[in-house]
Structure formats: structure tokens, C-alpha cells
């Protein structure tokens, strides 16, 4: 019986730790997000463009090519709508294949033994323990000098695509470009 009380106490402490900070504010009305036009499902093999080494310094130089216009632009949405929109894209991934998506979030790097994954992370404004994110692969003219520092605010846009790694299907933005966030 003592173990049951200990387990219940531990569970309460864990749940209380996630809710230690209050939400950012009341949730506004959610906007409906839909893809511009569904495209054929395209699942490719695991990406090979990613480097096996993480970049060590950020560059302040701007890319030379213009960034194509986005089909789905999440920049400028409030945090609630952005989080919901990224969830919608992930939940209905095949509807967004081939669409150019533009989003603002926090840069992060995930290092694995055989590859490195770069991502744009969107925290859930109502729950400090959850987050959504989108992996991206920068286009050739931005590799690797244009990777920012981990934790920096970024705007990334790229073509939404699916790829197969083992038995799993993942999504990412390919031919992606970084922009400086608007202040």
C-alpha cells in the first residue's frame, strides 16, 4: 500500500511540474487551415542532404536568392493558431505534400549517431510540456553557413515532403530557406 501512495505522490509532482507556469493567456478563436490544393502522395527515402556534423557558428550574411512565396504562411499568426496549424499539417500530412510552408519558431538541432536533424520548434502556449516542430533541410546556397544558434527565433520556408526511414514515415521541409524574424 505504501508503494501506491508513493506512486500517486510522484505522479502528482510530475504533473505539477508541467503546469508550473501559467498559460500565455486565453485562447483566441481558431482559424481554419486548409492546403491550397491536395497533391499526390509522395513518400521518398530518408534524406541524405543532412550533414553529419552540427554547425558551430552562425552567419549574418543574407542568402542571395529570393524566397519563393508560401502556399501556407503561418508567420504572424498568434501562438495558439500557429501551434494548431502545425498540428493540422502533421495530422493531414498527405494533403500538404508539395505545398510551400512558411513558419516562425525556435531553431533546434537533434544529433543522432549517423545524421543531424535541424528543426523549427513551436511550443504549445497552453501547456509548457508540449511542442510541435518541423524538420527542415536547407537549400544548397544556405548550407551550412546560414544555420543560426540553437534557441534563436527563425522563419523557415520550404516544400513539405514525406520520407521513409525504416518502417516509419516522417515529414520535413525540403529546399528550405531561412529568413530573419521580423521584430
Q: Residue 74 belongs to a domain with what CATH number? A: 2.40.50.140
The total number of structural domains in the chain stands at 1
pLDDT score, position 146: 66
Confidence of residue 61 (pLDDT cuts 50, 70, 90): very low
Residue 29 counted as domain residue? no
Residue 78 counted as domain residue? yes
Q: For residues 23 and 39, give the distance between their C-alpha atoms in angstroms, rounded to a whole number.
A: 37
Q: For residues 118 and 123, give the distance between their C-alpha atoms in angstroms, rounded to a whole number.
A: 16
**Interior CA angle at 72 toward 33 and 69, to 5°?**
160
> pLDDT tens digits for 159-169?
999 999 889 99
In this structure, what C-alpha cell is assigned to residue 140? 544548397
> pLDDT tens digits for 138-148?
988 877 666 78
Q: For residues 2 and 20, give the distance between their C-alpha atoms in angstroms, rounded to a whole number.
A: 27
Which stretches of 27-70 are DSSP H helices? none
Residue 21 counted as domain residue? no
Helix (H, G, I), strand (E, B) or coil at 16: helix
| Domain boundaries, position 140 | 41-179
Residue 110 counted as domain residue? yes
Residue 122 counted as domain residue? yes
CA atoms within a 13 Å half-sphere pointing along the CA-CB vector of 48: 2
pTM across the whole model: 0.65
What proportion of the chain, given as a percentage, has pLDDT over 70? 61
Amino acid at each position: 500500500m505504501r508503494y501506491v501512495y508513493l506512486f500517486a505522490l510522484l505522479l502528482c509532482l510530475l504533473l505539477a511540474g508541467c503546469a508550473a507556469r501559467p498559460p500565455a493567456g486565453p485562447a483566441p478563436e481558431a482559424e481554419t487551415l486548409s492546403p491550397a490544393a491536395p497533391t499526390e502522395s509522395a513518400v521518398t527515402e530518408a534524406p541524405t542532404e543532412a550533414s553529419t556534423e552540427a554547425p558551430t557558428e552562425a552567419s549574418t550574411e543574407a542568402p542571395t536568392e529570393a524566397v519563393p512565396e508560401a502556399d501556407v504562411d503561418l508567420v504572424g499568426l498568434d501562438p495558439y493558431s500557429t501551434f494548431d496549424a502545425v498540428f493540422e499539417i502533421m495530422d493531414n500530412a498527405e494533403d500538404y505534400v508539395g505545398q510551400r510552408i512558411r513558419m516562425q519558431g525556435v531553431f533546434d538541432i537533434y544529433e543522432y549517431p549517423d545524421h543531424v536533424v535541424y528543426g523549427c520548434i513551436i511550443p504549445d502556449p497552453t501547456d509548457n510540456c508540449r511542442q510541435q516542430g518541423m524538420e527542415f533541410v536547407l537549400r544548397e546556397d544556405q548550407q551550412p553557413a546560414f544555420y543560426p544558434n540553437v534557441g534563436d527565433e527563425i522563419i523557415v520556408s520550404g516544400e513539405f515532403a514525406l520520407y521513409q526511414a525504416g518502417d516509419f514515415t516522417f515529414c520535413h521541409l525540403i529546399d528550405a530557406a531561412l529568413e530573419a524574424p521580423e521584430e
